[in-house]
Amino acid sequence: MTKVVALLLAGTLAIATAAAQKPIPVILDTDIGDDIDDALALGLALQSPELNVLAINTVLQNGDRRADLTYKILELYGRTEIPIGVGAEQTLLGKPSTAVVRQTELLPADYHMPAEKRHNGIQLLVTTCLHSPEKVTLLAYGPLTNLALALRAEPRIMQHIERIVLMNGVFFRGGLEYNTYRDPEASQIVYNSGLPVSTVGLDVTLKCQLSLEHLKQMEDSKYENVRFLRKLIGIWQGGDPARRPILHDPLSVLVTIQPGLVEFVQGTVEVETKGQPGVSYGLTAFKAGATGNVRVAREVQAGNAVDLFMTRVGAPPRPK
| pLDDT, tens digit (0-9, with 9 covering 90-100), for 92-108 | 999 877 777 889 999 99
pLDDT digits (tens, 9 = 90+) for 34-58: 999 999 999 999 999 999 999 999 9
Can you tell me the mean pLDDT for 12-20? 40
Domain boundaries, the chain: 23-313
Can you tell me the mean pLDDT for 165-180? 96
Burial (CB count <10 Å: 0-12, 13-18, 19+), residue 73: buried
* 9: pLDDT strictly greater than 60: no
**pLDDT at 21 (0 to 100):** 78
Note the maximum CA span of the chain.
71
Strand order in the sheet with 51-58: 118-120, 84-86, 51-58, 24-30, 136-140, 161-167, 197-200, 294-300, 262-271, 284-288
Q: How far apart are CA 307 and CA 44, in angstroms?
A: 12
* 7: pLDDT strictly greater than 80: no
**pLDDT at 320 (0 to 100):** 79
Can you tell me the mean pLDDT for 280-292? 96
* 2: pLDDT strictly greater than 60: no
Can you tell me the mean pLDDT for 142-157? 97
- Residue among 300, 297, 310, 302 at smallest CA distance from 177: 297
Lowest mean pLDDT among 61-65, 95-99, 210-214: 95-99
* 15: pLDDT strictly greater than 80: no
* 18: pLDDT strictly greater than 60: no
Buried b (16+ CB within 10 A) or exposed e, 124-142: bbbbbbeebeeebbbbbbb
Q: How far apart are CA 157 and CA 39, in angstroms?
A: 27
Quote the percentage of the chain above a pLDDT of 90: 89
pLDDT band at 257 (very low <50, low <70, confident <90, very high): very high
Mean of pLDDT over the chain: 93
Q: What is the pTM of this model?
A: 0.92
Secondary structure class of 153 (helix, strand, coil): helix
**pLDDT at 3 (0 to 100):** 43
pLDDT digits (tens, 9 = 90+) for 241-254: 999 999 999 999 99
* 85: pLDDT strictly greater than 90: yes
User: Do residues 93 and 185 make contact, with C-beta atoms less than 8 angstroms apart?
Assistant: yes
**pLDDT at 20 (0 to 100):** 54
3-state secondary structure 242-302: CCCCECHHHHHHHHHHCHHHEEEEEEEEEECCCCCCCCCCCCEEEEECCCCCEEEEEEECH
Can you tell me the mean pLDDT for 186-194? 98
CATH 3.90.245.10 fits 23-313, yes or no: yes
DSSP conformational letter for 316:
P
**pLDDT at 16 (0 to 100):** 39
